[in-house]
């Protein structure tokens, strides 16, 4: 078993976001976490990464033979990029905007 989660609950102040979630992920399994906005997808990722307090049990079976430090990272769904001119911009689920069309690398059309 790679990941085993039992009775996981998390809350923000008085609002419970995750309540008694239990599941396991086996080697070779593939999962998609989906749901409406505010349903707890991001909270689940942050809890597994250890950046939000929770109750319950999370066990992750890291490769004991790996030379890498066993860690879980949560990558936000927004990014900051620096374009070729050095401008820093905020992008949410869209990397480029119309102002950068002339400075981005492109492949020629056939």
pLDDT in tens, 8-61: 999 999 999 999 999 999 989 998 899 998 899 999 999 999 999 999 999 999
75-91 residue pLDDT tens: 876 655 566 666 665 55
Is the overall model pTM greater than 0.75, yes or no? no
Question: What is the pLDDT at residue 47?
Answer: 96
Question: What is the pLDDT at residue 57?
Answer: 97
Q: How far apart are CA 108 and CA 91, in angstroms?
A: 25
**DSSP state letters, 23-74:** EEE-TT-------STTSSHHHHHHHHHT-S--EEEEEE---TT-SS------
């Amino acid at each position: 078993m790679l990941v085993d989660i039992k009775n996981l609950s998390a809350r923000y102040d008085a609002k419970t976001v995750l309540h008694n979630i239990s599941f396991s992920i086996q080697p070779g399994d593939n999962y998609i976490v989906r749901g409406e906005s505010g349903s707890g997808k991001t909270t689940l990722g942050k809890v597994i990464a250890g950046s939000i307090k929770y109750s319950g049990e999370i066990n992750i079976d890291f490769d004991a033979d790996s030379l890498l430090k066993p860690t879980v990272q949560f990558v936000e769904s927004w990014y900051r990029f620096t374009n070729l001119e050095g401008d820093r911009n905020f992008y949410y689920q869209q990397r480029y905007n119309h102002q950068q069309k002339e400075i981005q690398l492109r492949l020629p059309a056939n």
